[in-house]
Structure 1
Amino acid sequence: MGELWRSEEMQLVQLYIQIEAAHDIVDEMGKCGLVEFKDLNPHVNAFQRNFINEVKRADEMERKLRFFHKEITEHNKKVSGTGRKMAIRDPDDETMAKHQLDDLEPMLDDYEKQLIEMNSHQEALHRNRNQLVELKHVLEKDDTFFSQAGQREEETYEVEESGAKGLGFISGVIARDKFSLFERVLFRASRGNIFMKFAEIFEDIEDPVDPGKPVKKNVFIVFYHGNALQTKIKKICESFFANLYPCPETPQERKNLLEQVSTRLEDLKLLLSRGENQKAQVLGTIAFSLLSWIQKVKQEKGIYHTMNKFNYDLGRRCLIAEGWIPAKETDQVMARIRQANERSGSLVPPVMNPIQMKDDIPPTYFKTNKYTTAFQGMVDSYGIARYQEINPAVFTMVTFPYEFGIMFGDLGHGFLLLLFALALIYKERDWEGKKINEMIEMFYGGRYLIFLMALFAIYQGILYNEFFSLPMNFGSAWKLDYETNSTFLRRNPDPSHTYVFGVDPVWKGSTNELLYYNSVKMKMSVIIGILQMSLGIVLHLMNALHFGHMYDVFYEFLPRLVFLWSIFGYLCFMIIYKWCQDYVGMDLYNKDADTYNNWLNATNSSDARYKLMTGTNGAPVLLNELIYMALIPAPDLRNRLYNNQLYVQLGLIAVAFICVPLMFCGKPCSQWRDNKKKIYHRLDHPVEAHVENENEPILPATGGGHGHGHDDEEFNCSEAFVHQGLETIEFVLGSVSHTASYLRLWALSLAHSELATVFWDKVMYMLIDLPLKSNLHWIVVAFASFAGHSVWFFATLLVMMFMEGLSAFLHALRLHWVEFQSKFYRGDGRLFQPFTYAKLNEEE
């Protein structure tokens, strides 16, 4: 947990690396993932950097690998369902280490040339096959056309080459979706001087424009008269992308040509099969190492991208790099740099020097594990913590699932959520590090968060005594008076006898159930909210002490805490104080005292009368008390909680009002005074001030406070007052709005309970009453029971588990982001982003 309390201490280092060892050293840094390299050439164009040619080579190799992956994917689609799919093997370190970039590049070139040549050859064969298939159908359909017309073959049909007068014909194939328009255009262009017959091809033919896509086509034959009309028909066929084929005039010639076409189709089928097998062998060889090559190329590209950030020292013929590393990992980083330098064979050892931070703000780095990653991700979604700022995730790991449990509290619903979380944890071995469905991955990443949410929902469900909205009786302190059948009597007259744990089940279904649950949950929400906001203010104090901002301690922490507890902390005190008062016992005492006093009055006795106590009728309404406290009314005995209450409240209001100008003016006035002192000191001692500025370490600015920042920065008094005024107004108004915002804990908890009760009452109770109040057949009752249970189950899953769970999650998230973290968390830091191969593999 100490690793999460504040971000890791970071160290800025400078590296001097020999050029021949640079590649191996950066490669080793990518494996360990502990160095965030700075770009020392921010103003140099990307195309003018030292290693841009290597980056271009890697880009070209990535293009080829994407081409290979596309070819394998298309091949798997074609053979889907045949059991001949190619499995792409997972990357392995041995394959990656065996192939270097210089060896891999010519190998990929050869594979690309082979595949391109095979694809072009296969495309040409497919085109020939399509043409032969279409010609085959033309010959078959034309033979049918002529046979339907009788023995027309004996007549002489003049063709274009004969130049004589008579009928000619043109036959071909056209796409079916274009045929109707094609027919109308031909008819209008020829003014009806043609005769056309067509037939559908029931076999799908491959589309030449989009290979692999089947197209339905028709065979047509057009009879015409004259050469001019023939030319016009051919142009129209060309505009509709119709394929024209020569058709012999005699049946014998058509039969002979059909036999030749069938023979050629068989030969083409054999050639295509052999070509596919040859291509499959090449793709199988590629698939064996494809992912390893992709990762290798990505790593090499990342290495040269990183080396482009370095400076090149011409005099020393070495590369100069700067980067951030965790301070406690300095020895490990240096040891791995030396190992990489020895592996490269360089004779000159690398040099690593820690350097001053200058004006750079160190990055924020939290070391997380599979349990804390989800909570840290929630905090980072709001904003990255400043360097060395307290991390809210430490408290979020407890407070977030607890507040979710308050709103989602039900033993049954929590148990279902627990089963879901345990199923995700159980699948950890199978799914870890593998690509899964995006929706499932979202839940899987937060499996331990869901696990804690389920546990706290179960805990709160036991506290509320609700199991799918039903109470659980483990020894109630009350029993039903069967004479009246509506009154509950105490089982044990001893007032200390209470229910085992949580709410007594007698409250569930009582006439004042809603009033009781409203009162308890509302007051619990206020107390929890004040405690969490107070924790945020205390964390603000710890941040101020850590960074040395003493003005934040005196002018922000103290007045804020006093202001909050003077009003809303006092409300918590009144809630607890009222809980401790036995108003029922006071009523019993008043009853006996009133009887005794009446007896004394009747007997005219001179004995002292008993003084009556407040009792339930005189119990104050705390919301009214808080309003009266601000309005400062005259003493009202009917709303008095304790003696001298008015004077205590007046004192608290006065203290709260004093805190407001202290928050507004204290810090800017103190900063203005310190700035004046520095100016006078520099005017009186210019040489000493100059030396002091040179020797003073420059720390990262962390916002507000005392004793930080540049001395040369000019202090803007008006800007400081405006900034502090906005923060003061935000805190004062936020104290009211944020306290009211915590009432969402009460509202959602009550809504969850009442909605579950409605589902149970309207579905399950109706099923219980159905066989008792009706004479329906048992089969009808069984069917209705099954349907009712199904409705209740799916309503529980969809509405209660998913919608209510999502609502409780979002509201708990808002309470942490706005109400809690706004008290101390700046969230304007910069995330530590080291050069690491793990991130490159995730992007893939």
Structure 2
Amino acid sequence: MGSLFRSEEMCLAQLFLQSASAYDCISELGDLGLVEFRDLNPSVNTFQRKFVNEIKRCEEMERILVYLLREIKKADIALPEGEVNPAAPLPKHVMGIMEQLQRLEMELSEVTRNKEKLQKNLLELTEYTHMLRITHNFVQRGTERDAAQMQYEEFPVLDKDSVMDYTSMQRLGAKLGFISGLISRLKLEAFERMLWRVCKGYTILSYGEIEGTLEESPTRSVVFLISYWGDQIGQKVKKICDCYHCHLYPYPSSNEERADVVDGLQTRIQDLHTVSPRRGWYLRQVLNKASESVFTWMIQVKKMKAIYHILNLCSFDVTNKCLIAEVWCPVDDLPALRRALEDSSRKSGATVPSFVNRIPSNDTPPTLIRTNKFTSGFQNIVDAYGVGSYREVNPAPYTIITFPFLFAVMFGDLGHGLLMALFALWMVLYENDRKLKKTRNEFWNTFFEGRYIILMMGVFSVYTGIIYNDCFSKSLNVFGSGWNVRAITSSLRTLHSNDFLTLNPSTPGVFNGPYPLGIDPIWNLASNRLTFLNSYKMKMSVILGIVHMTFGVILGVFNHLHFRRRFCVVLVFLPELLFLLCLFGYLVFMILYKWMAFTAQDSHKAPSILIHFINMFLMQGDSRKPLYPGQTGLQVFLVIIAVLSVPVLLLGKPLYLYWQHNGSSHMAMYRGYERVRRSSEEEISLMRSYDLEEGTINCLPLPTPLVLQFDFADVFLHQSIHTIEYCLGCISNTASYLRLWALSLAHAQLSEVLWSMVLRVGLRVDTSFGVLLLVPVIGLFAVLTVFILLVMEGLSAFLHALRLHWVEFQNKFYSGAGIKFAPFAFSLLHTSFENDGLL
């Protein structure tokens, strides 16, 4: 609990690692995750460091492993499930892993390349076959005509369908040529237009579409045959085909040649169909073998790369036989750090063991707060505002209770809270399910990581729903109402002749006492329900807000005492607390006093708190209806105390620090000597307090003379800003807590509208069709309840609760100006895999 209440005490230490055991020591520290390393070579370029070649080798192995993973996923091969956590490989084993990966890459690349080549050949042969089949209809087989029709014409007449026979082709000799191939259906129109314009009509284009789509071809293809006259036209046609990325194939000059080509194509296609499955089976065998070890290799390479990266942060001694590292380490973990260095030195067989030496430092240590799976979500809420300064009070332990409670005040509904709690409980029970943990859906991951927060919000919403007596906008009459209608109705005629009845608690027998738990269910039927609930929830919001802010101010005392700023207890804490309690604490007192002093029977005599609170600032009271005897004098006294606390808060701290710096030194000079003060934890914190309200303390301060530099104007300006911010913040923050009332009212009204506009429609239908209509109505009601009231309203209440903690609560004592402790730990590699998209 000490670590959760305040961050861990940290220290700066030096590690002296022997060159022979440095790798093993860093590997052991990575497994434990105890320390954060500092860079001792900030001026050295990344590519000029000692172990840059080893890191390049690791990156090359990472590249091969990423390639293997991509091929495994492409082949749809299942990766092994379960957690894999192999140890970092020894440096002497690195070359073996490298050779194994390179050999596997070469084998896989060759198999993949051959497979792609076979697929490409098969596609080309298939396209050639389709081309010959379709263009066979373009060229009409010639028949021998009689001698009268066989006139040697230099330009034979073509029919309108652009169909030619082989006899005409033979008579034209080399003057008529053909180009055939395939083109995408999308490019055909532009291709035809280009041929016409460039060749000026000296070409004849015939085409036919292939039925279906070919493999490896995303679009439909079209077979074309171009007849052209002259070699120059042929060269232009070929260039146009190249521009449009046409697949050209040779066109046979006779039927006999066509038949021979078709037979050859069929034979080669059958051979490829026979060889291709064998290649695919062999490729799958290689990938299956690689998939068994790919994660193990990946983790080993990641660990190896991380170790060499840490070694690059270290510096060598003058003999180049020892590496020196500086680390931040929790004081409680120093014994474990020493044991880890001793064990790793012994395992590596080093003659001289590695050791750790704690060193003093004036640098601000990082902040470490240990959490578990339950508290980590609430700690993340606090850290999202700002990581806490070193050793200042941590708001997370109190946020565990106050955050879900304030959420529930805005969300309070028994039914909705129960649904939310059951959903979160399901996630908690199945939190170890790999399918729920390892998803790429960020929206789901957000819900899953905050499952304990959602569970607490649901449980507290059930509690506030019981207090509000609100379940899906309806009240539960468990104990029986304390109001009785029979006491004011002597006959049924009175009930039938009046739409509304006024229940006066002063009438005997009408009010029999308050409801045992929560709000009386009769208010759900009352026409002035909103008037009553608004007054109740508004006063409740003010009380909760002032108590919450007062608790935040009180927590500031622990910071002042811990950092030895005892003067801040008198000059900062007391003025802040008095200003808050004398004004707004008194408002809470009046609300509670009015609730206790006036009962339901004499509630009509109760004075207005608003009028009394306004008169308090006007220094006058209401002599006709005082809330209690001596009210006017007490209110004047409280206002005077609140007003006087402001100049104390404004001037007290700057004047004290001015006297602390100048007054004591002048007194010493007056006595004939000047005192030389050495740095102390108290004085350092005194001087730093004006720069950062919550400050930090030194870690083992150096015993050297401290040169104090004090600027009164800077301190006074800082304190002026703080005073103005605090005094105005007490007013604005109190008003900000009224969001508890506003969102609770909005949630209740939305729930009531959803009930009356949806579910009540299905319940009011007559019995003959009511059951058939009720099923879709209940489905619609459930969907709207989940998406509008649970998701949207829940998110809205969550954000408002977040604002109340960040602004209204934490700014009373929490600076959030620290640096988060980032240990060197191999356990973070799984997060790296998810970010890289490898899982």
* Residue 826 of structure 1: how far off its partner (Å): 0.6
**Structure 2 equivalent of residue 630 of structure 1:** 617
1:684-703 matches, cutoff 5 A: 692-693=678-679, 703=692
Following superposition, the deviation at residue 371 of structure 1 comes to 0.8
Specify which of 480, 483, 496 is matched with residue 478 of structure 1.
483
For 2:197 and 2:615, how far apart are their aligned partners in 1? 94
CA drift of 1:808 comes to 1.0
Change (3 A) 1:696 1:538: closer
Structure 2 residue corresponding to 1:524, chosen from 521, 528, 540: 540
Map 1:155-194 → 2, pairs under 5 A: 155-157=167-169, 166-194=175-203
- The yes-or-no answer on 1:740 pairing with 2:749 is no
Out of 786, 807, 817, the position equivalent to 2:806 is: 817
Q: Compute the displacement of 1:770 (Å).
A: 3.4
Identify the residue that residue 426 of structure 1 maps to in structure 2: 429
Aligned CA RMSD, in angstroms, stands at: 2.7
Using a 3 Å threshold, how does the CA distance of structure 1 residues 14 and 432 change in structure 2: closer, same or farther?
Answer: farther
| Cα distance change of structure 1 residues 390 and 432 upon mapping to structure 2, 3 Å threshold | farther
Q: Are 1:567 and 1:656, in contact at CA under 8 Å, matched by a contact in 2?
A: yes
Cα deviation per residue 1:741-791 (whole Å; 9 max; x = unaligned)? 1111111111111221222223333444432xxxxx823x33333333233
Other-structure match for 1:454: 458
Alignment of 1:312-327 (within 5 A): 312-315=316-319, 317-327=321-331
Cα distance change of structure 1 residues 362 and 134 upon mapping to structure 2, 3 Å threshold = same
Q: 1:808 aligns with which of 792, 797, 818?
A: 797
Give 1:180's aligned amino acid: E
Provide the C-alpha distance between the structure 2 equivalents of 1:24 and 1:38, rounded to a whole number of angstroms. 19
Alignment partner of 1:778 is 2:761: no
The offset of 1:97, in angstroms, is: 5.7
**2:84 matched to which residue of 1?**
92
State the Cα distance separating 1:691 from its structure 2 match.
7.3
Instruction: Note if 1:302 corresponds to 2:306.
Output: yes
Aligned to 2:115: 122
SS at the partner of 1:71? Answer: helix
1:716 aligns with 2:711: yes
**Distance apart, 1:630 and its partner CA:** 1.6
Q: Residues 359 and 698 of structure 1 are in contact (CA less than 8 Å); yes or no, is this contact kept in structure 2? A: no
Question: For residue 610 of structure 1, what is the aligned residue in structure 2?
Answer: none
Letter paired with 2:768: W
Structure 1 residue 248 displacement after superposition: 1.7
Aligned counterparts of 1:94 and 1:658: Cα–Cα separation in 2: 67
Q: 1:762 aligns with which of 750, 753, 757?
A: 757
Q: Which amino acid aligns with 1:478?
A: W
Which deviates more from structure 2 when the two are superposed, residues 552-561 or residues 214-223?
214-223
Q: How far apart, CA to CA, are the structure 2 residues paired with 1:778 and 1:496?
A: 43
Could you tell me how far apart the structure 2 residues matched to 1:44 and 1:518 are? 66
1:252 is displaced (CA, Å) by 1.9
Which position in structure 2 is the counterpart of 1:653?
639
Q: 1:493, CA displacement in angstroms?
A: 5.0
Separation in 1 of the partners of 2:142 and 2:546?
A: 99
Is 1:467 aligned to 2:471, yes or no? Answer: yes
Give the Å deviation of 1:400: 0.7
Q: Tell me, what secondary structure is at the counterpart of 1:370?
A: coil
How far is 1:71 from its partner?
A: 1.3
Identity of aligned residues (%): 38
Distance 1:684 1:317 in 2: 58
Cα distance in 2, alignment partners of residues 505 and 91 from structure 1: 54
Return closer, same or farther for 1:689/1:88 CA change in 2, 3 Å cut-off.
farther
Q: Identify the residue that residue 291 of structure 1 maps to in structure 2.
A: 295
Q: CA deviation at 1:296?
A: 0.8
Task: Give the conservation status (yes or no) of the 8 Å contact 2:29–2:824.
Answer: yes
Aligned equivalents of 1:553, 1:184: Cα separation in 2: 90
2:723 corresponds to which of 725, 728, 737: 728
Structure 2 unmatched ranges of 5 or more: 145-163, 496-500, 699-704, 834-839
Closer/same/farther in 2, CA of residues 337 and 721 from structure 1, 3 Å limit: same
Cα 1:701–1:113 shift into 2, 3 Å: farther
**Partner secondary structure for residue 138 of structure 2:** helix
CA distance in 1, matches of 2:217, 2:88: 38
Pair 1:398 & 2:398 matched: no
Q: CA deviation at 1:397?
A: 0.5
Q: CA deviation at 1:363?
A: 1.1
Task: Specify whether residues 511 and 694 from structure 1 end up closer, same or farther in structure 2 by C-alpha distance, changes over 3 A only.
Answer: closer
Is contact 1:476–1:505 with CA below 8 Å preserved after alignment? yes
**Would the alpha carbon gap of residues 713 and 840 (structure 1) be closer, same or farther in structure 2, given more than 3 Å must change?**
farther
Q: Which residue of 2 aligns with 1:47?
A: 47
The reply on whether 1:415 has 2:424 as its aligned counterpart is: no
Query: CA-to-partner distance for each residue in 1:453-504, whole Å, 9 max, x for gaps?
Result: 1111111111111111111112211122354333548799598843221111
- For the residues of structure 2 that align with 1:419 and 1:149, how far apart are their CA atoms? 83
Assess if the C-alpha contact under 8 Å between 2:437 and 2:445 holds in 1.
Answer: no
Q: Is the 8 A contact 1:8 1:326 kept in 2?
A: yes
Deviations 1:600-646 (A, max 9, x none): xxxxxxxxxxxxxxx62x4322122222222234x433452122222
1:173-198: per-residue Cα shift (whole Å, max 9, x none)? 22221111111111222222222211
Q: State the Cα distance separating 1:714 from its structure 2 match.
A: 1.3
8 Å Cα contact 1:583/1:619 also seen in 2: no
Deviates more, 1:787-796 or 1:816-825: 787-796
Matched, 1:269 2:285: no
> In 2 relative to 1, CA 93–376 (structure 1 residues): closer, same or farther, beyond 3 Å?
closer
Q: Match for residue 244 of structure 2?
A: 240
Q: CA deviation at 1:417?
A: 0.8
Distance 1:180 1:526 in 2: 75
CA contact (8 A) 1:551 1:706 kept: no
In structure 2, C-alpha distance between the alignment counterparts of 1:511 and 1:404, rounded to whole Å: 28
Aligned twin of 2:569: 553
Secondary structure of the structure 2 residue equivalent to 1:637: coil
Counterpart-to-counterpart distance in 1, 2:97 and 2:568 = 60
Letter in 2 for 1:623: L
Q: Residue 508 and residue 469 in structure 1: after superposition, are their counterparts in 2 closer, same or farther (change >3 A)?
A: same
Alpha-carbon shift at residue 60 of structure 1 (Å)? 1.1
The 3-state SS of whatever aligns with 2:228 is strand
| CA drift at 1:425 | 1.1
- Is the CA contact (8 Å cut-off) linking 1:620 and 1:638 kept in structure 2? no
The reply on whether 1:835 has 2:824 as its aligned counterpart is yes
Q: 1:815–1:154: structure 2 CA closer, same or farther, 3 Å change rule?
A: closer
Q: Is the CA contact 2:482–2:511 (under 8 Å) kept in the aligned structure 1?
A: no
Quick one: structure 1 residues 687 and 360, their matched pair in 2 at CA, closer, same or farther if it must change by over 3 Å?
A: farther
Q: Which of 578, 583, 592 pairs up with 1:576?
A: 592
The answer for the alignment partner of 1:200 in structure 2 is: 209
How far apart are the structure 2 equivalents of 1:706 and 1:809?
Answer: 31
TM-score (norm 1): 0.89
3-state secondary structure, aligned to 2:139:
helix
Change (3 A) 1:761 1:141: closer
- Corresponding residue of 2:14: 14
Q: Distance in 1 between matches of 2:207 and 2:671?
A: 107
Q: CA 1:329/1:478 → structure 2, altered by over 3 Å: closer, same or farther?
A: same
Amino acid paired to 1:293? W
Change (3 A) 1:768 1:178: closer
Which deviations, in whole Å up to 9, do the C-alpha atoms of 1:555-604 show, x marking residues without a partner?
Answer: 11000000001110110111011111235544xxxxxxxxxxxxxxxxxx
Runs of 4 or more, structure 1, over 6 Å off, are 148-151, 489-492, 681-688, 694-700, 705-710
SS in 1 for 2:485: strand
- Hey, what's the Cα distance between the residues in 1 that align with 2:764 and 2:348? 84
1:133 — aligned with what?
126
Partner of 1:504: 520
State the distance in 2 between where 1:557 and 1:7 align.
22
Say yes or no: does 1:640 pair with 2:626: yes
Contact 1:29–1:35 (Cα < 8 Å) also in 2: yes
Q: Please, which moves more after superposition, 235-244 or 525-534?
A: 235-244
Task: Decide whether aligned partners of structure 1 residues 87 and 542 sit closer, same or farther in structure 2, where only a CA change above 3 A counts.
Answer: closer
Unaligned runs of at least 5 residues, structure 1: 77-84, 207-211, 587-614, 772-776
C-alpha distance in structure 2 between counterparts of 1:90 and 1:643, whole Å: 74
Partner residue, 1:601: none
